[in-house]
A = this chain, B = another copy of it.
């Protein structure tokens, strides 16, 4: 089989994905041309189109990868040790983005695109659903250990908290990406103060 080896193929694919992530984060999905992505990847048009169907497909792949990594963080952190408190759950996910050096503007751009593009919307919905499940599981474990905060049971308490807690995360992402002089410490302090602990 005169084909490229799997290792080579994966490496190329990754090379393109990382270049696309950098380019999209810097200039925005809509404002980045395929030519720019291609230049950033140090490849040719034909090569890139051999790996992805087009610009849209490329952005979706970048988004899936990023969202997948966020979920992995949370699952890993929740698996070992004592259950994290609500505020800690938030911090685990947000710290993950920081340590990875993820440009949060990329996520906000994804949101914007997803309001209008059904394929992207599906990607976001799937990502939120998976991440929401991880949030719920982590919170349930914590409420089980802290029944004083869960008068109606850990399940109900977790269920009620998930949307708002994720909302606080989304608010963090938005403000961090957008606001001049955003103080992430102050934001998380404020969150810690109102969340059960």
Q: Which of A40-61 contact B (CB under 8 A)?
A: none
Please, which residue of chain B has its CB at the minimum distance from the CB of A121? B178
Q: A116-B31, A168-B168 are in contact. Are A160 and B108 (CB under 8 A)?
A: no
Instruction: Say how many copies of this protein the assembly contains.
Output: 2
Complex contact A194–B164 (CB within 8 A): yes
Complex contact A164–B171 (CB within 8 A): yes
Q: How many positions in chain A have a CB within 8 Å of any CB in the partner chain? A: 47
Q: Of B116, B166, B174, B191, which contacts A111 at CB under 8 A? A: B174
Main secondary structure of the interface of A (DSSP, over half): helix
Complex CA gap A125/B174 in Å reads: 11
Complex contact B178–A115 (CB within 8 A): yes
Residues of B within 8 Å of A27, CB to CB, are 116
Determine, out of A3-11, A12-20, A182-190, the stretch whose residues face the partner at the interface.
A182-190
Complex CA gap A103/B166 in Å reads: 21
Residues of B within 8 Å of A186, CB to CB, are 160, 163
Q: Of B105, B172, B194, which contacts A161 at CB under 8 A? A: B194
Interface residues of A (CB under 8 A from B): 27-28, 30-31, 105, 108-117, 121, 124-125, 128, 160-164, 166-172, 174-175, 177-180, 183, 186-187, 189-191, 193-196
